[in-house]
Structure 1
């Protein structure tokens, strides 16, 4: 196995993952608005048209309903499509096809009907896209049996989990964060580097408090953990879920039992957000008896994402707010 890595952005990790899978499997192709000549609305397919041609890098009409229907049909007949949804908000137009066709086909046909399709969704705020182009809607899809939901927070995890999603025989909602396309990190260059779906990652070991998060908030949680360690001597354990469905419940419960305190963080709205499900899992399990205080949730405010930059910044958890919640848990105040 090649252990060589390269410093690259999330954007480049996405291109690498898709390109490697397309080279190894002729049934894999990319489709969506502006994925070809333009290279993707966020630059996530730059150079791929030149390598793979218009048959496999397919520009589509501006019709999310048609795009999702074609992708699911292609998946049912043996292809492995990747759909560039661009803004996650646009899945509203795809919901019937994703929820009533892609998610249910395998169950309704006794496992004989497979739908290996990946919907790549650019989610979250932070780039001034306003209320209709900045939502994090993962909780919608986590509610639907038959779908897998992936939300990586580092360039390396993006590569490894996107490759796993493309190879999976089930429909996958793959969440990318617009504000992090330029974020850089070391990424393995080995084409065989694939991370398993359903396996959380312990990004920091600690003993005083557990912070459970995923996606965009991971970087802020890690910053907060380092700062409270350096200034307050607090040892924070950071559990990165990476995939929401399937969920690594064992990793969650083991960490909670270890520290006795837990903070849940995401950038989606707090009411009915996914971290509420994680809280329920902890409360309903044997880990509840290990808690030394209440489970705390820190999430985005329950308002549409503002266009105003200051308001947009204020509505989602900051490093300072995460630190404040950690201190509240540890100091019981």
Structure 2
């Protein structure tokens, strides 16, 4: 199935399993979702559980948080992560802090899904990768499923969490096809996953960049460089053990992150590698990020602003000595 179909099946399964689960957001009902993830669900579950909302991220995200406090299990869909900034007060100052401020008396079991990433010529207001910003906030769990199997399985795990979970879905993945195993029990939201084993350099990434790293690893294999590809999957909390195990094995680390370089998630990962794994390294860790500009509209400029396979290959070759 496609990534889009996997997300739809995950939502359908959750709603069939628990009547407290419902979906709300802009155009999720009659239109079927901006990315067609919820297409057909309104006919199946009705308007009480597939709820179209006004164009007010602040309003409907707050309503979803309130519903979670009231005992429901809402799935809130925000069209793109750029628009999540309109709901940042609700996400950060209410959802993320409620358990702490109530001394554990209240939980906010809300799942907030949103598209992220560029590459679709939608210009700066619809194309940024802001998951690193939200991964900075204590009280949130931040997921970035990159495979069809993860898209199918991780939503159920997120709905089981008593605290708020944000799921960032790279928009370029919705049409990607993949196999989904019958048994999804082995997929969790706590651990990174090695997508390709290697011995010379670790490519550490997540989301849409995973597949660029997989392609880069294939190219590197053709010139005798064995690249390991580590898919972080969960950005908060990071799986430090998996990161350190990978760089200890290969002795080199390259982080590929579509966020901006300054103050980025890649900077946090590099710091942790230095703090925890310095003596295992044969070379300083490197990172490849998006150019520090608002994502351009023009196709050639947009491609130039994003990490690409050729850049990953070039950076990895420099790490292993050319």
Shorter-chain TM-score category? over 0.9
Q: CA deviation at 1:195?
A: 2.4
Is 1:74 paired with 2:67?
yes
Runs of 4 or more consecutive aligned structure 1 residues displaced over 3 Å after TM superposition: none
Q: Specify the alignment match of 1:198 in structure 2.
A: 190
Q: Specify the alignment match of 2:213 in structure 1.
A: 221
Q: How does 1:114-133 map to 2 (within 5 A)?
A: 114-133=107-126
Could you tell me which runs of 5 or more consecutive residues in structure 1 were left unpaired when the two chains were aligned: 1-7
Q: Specify the alignment match of 2:202 in structure 1.
A: 210
| SS of residue in 1 equivalent to 2:320 | helix
Is 1:247 paired with 2:238?
yes
Q: CA deviation at 1:194?
A: 6.6
Give, in whole Å, the separation in 2 of the partners of 1:204 and 1:46. 34
Give, in whole Å, the separation in 2 of the partners of 1:129 and 1:323. 27
> In the alignment, which of 64, 68, 81 is matched to residue 57 of structure 2?
64
Give, in whole Å, the separation in 2 of the partners of 1:214 and 1:141. 15
Quick check: 1:165–1:197 contact (8 Å CA) kept in 2? yes
> In the alignment, which of 109, 112, 116 is matched to residue 102 of structure 2?
109
Is 1:323 paired with 2:298?
no
Deviations 1:22-43 (A, max 9, x none): 1001111000011001000110
Give, in whole Å, the separation in 2 of the partners of 1:242 and 1:120. 15
Give, in whole Å, the separation in 2 of the partners of 1:193 and 1:28. 21
Q: How does 1:243-322 map to 2 (within 5 A)?
A: 243-285=234-276, 287-322=277-312
Q: Specify the alignment match of 1:4 in structure 2.
A: none
Could you tell me which runs of 5 or more consecutive residues in structure 2 were left unpaired when the two chains were aligned: none
Indicate the larger mover: 308-317 or 161-170: 161-170
Q: CA deviation at 1:189?
A: 4.7
Between the two proteins, the alignment pairs up a number of residues equal to 322
| SS of residue in 2 equivalent to 1:132 | helix
Quick check: 1:131–1:304 contact (8 Å CA) kept in 2? yes
Q: CA deviation at 1:219?
A: 0.3
Quick check: 1:164–1:194 contact (8 Å CA) kept in 2? no
| SS of residue in 1 equivalent to 2:202 | strand
Structure 2 length normalisation: TM-score? 0.98
> In the alignment, which of 24, 27, 34 is matched to residue 20 of structure 2?
27
Is 1:150 paired with 2:143?
yes
Give, in whole Å, the separation in 2 of the partners of 1:121 and 1:34. 13
Quick check: 1:151–1:175 contact (8 Å CA) kept in 2? yes
Quick check: 1:159–1:194 contact (8 Å CA) kept in 2? no
Q: CA deviation at 1:188?
A: 2.9
